[in-house]
Amino acid sequence: MTAEKLGDVAATSLVTLYCHALETQSENPVLLDPDAVRITRELNRRLAGSGDRLHRDLVSGRLNPALVVHICIRAKRYDDYVREFLAKSPAGVVVNIGCGLDSRFFRIDNRQVTFYDLDLPEVIALKKEFFDETERYRFIASSVLDDRWFGSVRAHEGPFLFVAEGVFMYLEADAVKALFTKLADAFPGSELVCEMFNTFWLREPLLTMMRFKMQRQLNFGKDAVFRSGIRDGREPETWSEKIRFLDEWSYFDADEPKLGWLRIFRYCEFMKRTQWTVRYRLG
Ligand SMILES: C[S@@+](CC[C@H](N)C(=O)[O-])C[C@H]1O[C@@H](n2cnc3c(N)ncnc32)[C@H](O)[C@@H]1O
What's the CA gap between 180 and 242, in Å, rounded?
Answer: 9
Instruction: State the residue range of the domain holding 184.
Output: 67-282
What's the CA gap between 218 and 15, in Å, rounded?
Answer: 9
- Is residue 47 assigned to a domain? no
Ligand 1: does its nearest atom lie under 6 Å from the Cβ of 123?
A: yes
Question: Could you identify the atom of ligand 1 that is nearest to the CA of residue 122?
Answer: 25
Side chain identity, residue 232: D
- Is residue 125 assigned to a domain? yes
Q: What is the residue-level pLDDT of the chain in tens, covering all 283 positions? A: 577 789 889 999 999 999 999 999 999 999 999 999 999 999 999 999 888 899 999 999 999 999 999 999 999 999 999 999 999 999 999 999 999 999 999 999 999 999 999 999 999 999 999 999 999 999 999 999 999 999 999 999 999 999 999 999 999 999 999 999 999 999 999 999 999 999 999 988 988 888 888 887 778 888 888 999 999 999 999 999 999 999 999 999 998 999 988 888 888 888 899 999 999 999 9
Side chain identity, residue 30: V
Q: What angle do CA 162, 168, 172 make, to 5 degrees?
A: 135
- Is residue 24 assigned to a domain? no
Phi-psi region of 28 (alpha: psi -120 to 50; beta: other; left: phi over 0): left
Number of structural domains the chain divides into: 1
Side chain identity, residue 49: G
- Is residue 169 assigned to a domain? yes
Q: What are the b/e assignments for 72-90, b being 16+ CB within 10 Å?
A: bbbbbbbbebbeebbeebe
Q: Give the CATH number for residue 227.
A: 3.40.50.150
Ligand 1: does its nearest atom lie under 6 Å from the Cβ of 12?
A: yes
- Is residue 55 assigned to a domain? no
Question: Could you identify the atom of ligand 1 that is nearest to the CA of residue 145?
Answer: 19
Ligand 1: does its nearest atom lie under 6 Å from the Cβ of 3?
A: no
Question: Could you identify the atom of ligand 1 that is nearest to the CA of residue 101?
Answer: 9
Structure-derived torsion over alpha carbons of residues 246, 250, 251, 256, reported in degrees to the nearest 10: -80
Say if strands 114-119 and 93-97 run parallel, antiparallel, or are unpaired. Answer: parallel
* pLDDT in the model for residue 44: 96
- Is residue 28 assigned to a domain? no
* pLDDT in the model for residue 243: 98
Ligand 1: does its nearest atom lie under 6 Å from the Cβ of 39?
A: no
Phi, then psi, of 276 in degrees rounded to 5: -145, 175
- Is residue 172 assigned to a domain? yes
Ligand 1: does its nearest atom lie under 6 Å from the Cβ of 13?
A: yes
- Is residue 43 assigned to a domain? no
**CA neighbor of 217 nearest in space, from 60, 98, 62, 107:** 62
